[in-house]
Every structure is written in structure tokens, then in C-alpha cells.
Amino acid sequence: MSKEQRVVITGLGALSPLGNDAKTSWENALNGVNGIDEITRIDTSDYNVHLGGELKDFNIEDYIEKKEARRMDRFTQYAVVAAREAVKDAKLDINDTNANRIGVWIGSGIGGMETFEVAHSQLLNRGPRRVSPFFVPMLIPDMATGQVSIDLGAKGPNGSTVTACATGTNSIGEAFKIIQRGDADAMITGGSEAPITHMAIAGFSASRALSTNDDKETACRPFQEGRDGFVMGEGAGVLVIESLESAQARGAEIYAEIVGYGSTGDAYHITAPAPEGEGGSRAMQAAMDDAGIQPSDVQYLNAHGTSTPVGDLNEVLAIKNTFGDAANNLKVSSTKSMTGHLLGATGGLEAIFSALSIRDSKIAPTIHAVTPDPECDLDFVPNEAQDLDITYAMSNSLGFGGHNAVLVFKKFED
């Protein structure tokens, strides 16, 4: 059996409520900027939810020609923009000599929800002949991967993961394994989501998952008393990951190394986590086993931390059960306190933040940390960034359906 390839991160691309590129998003995260504000994309007058994490000053025609953009749902547009940034950042030239060894694996939790709403309205109001021939290829969640592959000419392993809020992390994990076993030299991977739509807000609101707090300074407050649900966000987080051999041959800058991936199922409930975060705990342990490390080796954990009453508490219990005494020395933060919850894109964005935490020896804070929940008693890096030399960082993503995905990142050492 051939030796497993080491896998490193060489390119980052992001669109988030904190910025329209990875660099700006990270700088604003470190500065504790709140990306949550009144929803402007839709009229929420009749809704009990009015806040969201929207992109700011973003015009797709600055990136993609208007006619082409109109044939993509927004989640696909976001993926293409973030992927272009990541590939440019990696200085990766995709050409006839390497295209077959460069793949794409970008997921979306709900896909083209806005496309579905528009087409359904056309169907009801104007009849079936008025539904666009682009309806299906705009709607399906795998089209982010498909369009990125077409746009960049990447012909290697090509797929899409759909695991609700774990989508981005699962996507990166699967891409990591593809390279590790030698099936590709590089992968463009992450998640993308455009869920601020009428149906998505109404549906998540009906399930009582969303915060109904209208104060943007307290609506998204992970691990705090009084939290009442997550705040919807939108955007994309895409990484270029590649074998160490490929990166070194190109002389590429390396942000961090991916060393562990764990993925489990709760087999418990369609929306609620298993008691004490049992499934998440197994995913964290599996990721550490894959990395060959102990809990005491991990300095920082980017938590799922969505600001839901049950979810946050169960994640804390999962961390304690997994890390034992080492949980007392672990820094844990939820960057969702600033971005809101980007559903399938959140794991991609938080992987970027985790890698940059290692590179810069800085941890982005959990903002709005004013009234800690006494049952959530870990070090959540409240309100201000902290300096810390990080060797290993972990990122958690826990999704509806009982999907749990965890990645472990390591400071790169040749």
C-alpha cells in the first residue's frame, strides 16, 4: 500500500457577512465586527425574524458577466467567486498538463432555494411553459461544484456533499481523503449557501430554529444565557488543498496542514442532537485518532456554536466528554457570533478561520459574551481576540439529520 499523502492548505477564498474576500473576513473577525443586521434581501414585515448575516456591498456583475450570472443561483455565484479567489491566492495554474489531477468538491446544504421560489411563482402565475429551462441546473446543490469545475477547468475528482450544517466540513474532509489516498494532487473544496429567501427563513422559523430577537447586538450570542436560536447567514468558504509534494514542487505558500477528519451520525433525531452531544463527541475523537493526537495536543476549537439553547449546551457536553481535563485549557470560540450561521457554507468559512488562527497565532473571539450560561463554562474567548501559539486547531460542524463532521488542522512543519 502506498504511503498516505500529507495534505496542506495553499489557497483561501471567502464571501461572508464580514467581508467579500478571505483577508477582510478574517481581519473583521479578529476585530470582533458584528456582521449581523436587518435583512434587506427580502421583506420580513410578516415574519417574526428580521435579522440576518448578509453580504455587504456585493454586486455579482463585478465578478461574473450578467448573462452568465443569471443562469446560476446565488449559492453557485458565491461558490464561483470564492473558488476563483482561492485558486488565485494559491497561485495555482490549471492547464492541460494538470487539470485531470485537480478536482472540485463544494457542498451546499439547501442549494437553489431562491431559484425554486421564483420558478414556483412562474408556474402558478404563468403556467408550466414559463418555467426556465435552467431551473433544474440552477436548483441542484451539486451545481456549485459543476460550475466551478467548468469555470476553472478542473477535471479531477468531482462531487458534492449535502449534510445540512456539516456540509462544508464534510466536503473538505472528503477532499482531504481524496488527496491523501493519491487520487488527486489538489482539490478546490468548501461550501456555499444563499439561504436568505422567503421559504428558507419561513421554514427555519417555523421549526423554531431561528432567533426572534430583533437586537442585532444580542440576537446571536452563543453559549450565553437568553440565547433563543441562530441567525441566518449567507456566503461561501472555499479552500485549495493539495498534497505536500505538489505544493512544494510549486513553491506554494502553506497556511496549515490538514491532519484529521472525523464524521459520524447520531442516529437519534431529525433536528435535535443526541444527548450530551454523543455523536459530535465521537466525531471529535475520530478526527483526533485520524490525526494521531491526544486531546491535550489541541489548543483551539472553532465551535459549531450556533446560539441555540439545546445545540450549544450539547456541544459543550460533547467537548467535555471528549477532552476530559484538557477541556479546562482549551480555547473555544464561535465565529458565528459575528457571521451568523451560513448553513452548508459555514464549515468552509470556519476552516479558513481555523487555518488563519494557526498562521497568525490569533484566535477570533466569541462576541456578545456578556451573560455566560453557567452550564456553558469553557473558555469562549469572550469579546476580544487573543494571541496564542497554536499547533493544533479543531473545527466542529453539526447538522440536522444527526450529521457530525470535524477537522483537525496543524501548524505546518516541513
Residues with a catalytic annotation lie at: 165
Q: Could you tell me how far CA 193 lies from the centroid of its own chain?
A: 9
Q: Are 5 and 179 in contact (CB under 8 A)?
A: yes
How many residues are recorded in the chain? Answer: 414
Give me the DSSP letters along 288-326. HHHHT--GGG--EEE----S-HHHHHHHHHHHHHHHGGG
Give me the DSSP letters along 122-180. HHHHH-GGGS-TTHHHHHSTTHHHHHHHHHHT--SSEE----GGGHHHHHHHHHHHHHH
How large is the C-alpha radius of gyration of the chain? 20
b/e burial code for range 274-300 (CB count within 10 A of at least 16 → b): bebbbbbbbbbbbbbebbebebeebbb
Q: Are 27 and 353 in contact (CB under 8 A)?
A: no
Distance separating alpha carbons of residues 225 and 221, to the nearest angstrom? 8
Distance separating alpha carbons of residues 301 and 304, to the nearest angstrom? 9
Torsion of CA 290, 292, 295, 298, to 10 degrees: -90
Tell me the one-letter amino acid at 308: T
Strand partners, 399: 403
- Backbone torsions φ then ψ of 12, nearest 5 degrees: -130, 140
Closest C-alpha among 233, 195, 284, 252 to residue 12: 252
Distance separating alpha carbons of residues 264 and 284, to the nearest angstrom? 9
Q: Could you tell me how far CA 282 lies from the centroid of its own chain?
A: 20
**C-alpha cell read off for 333:** 470560540
Cβ neighbours around 326 below 10 Å, total: 15
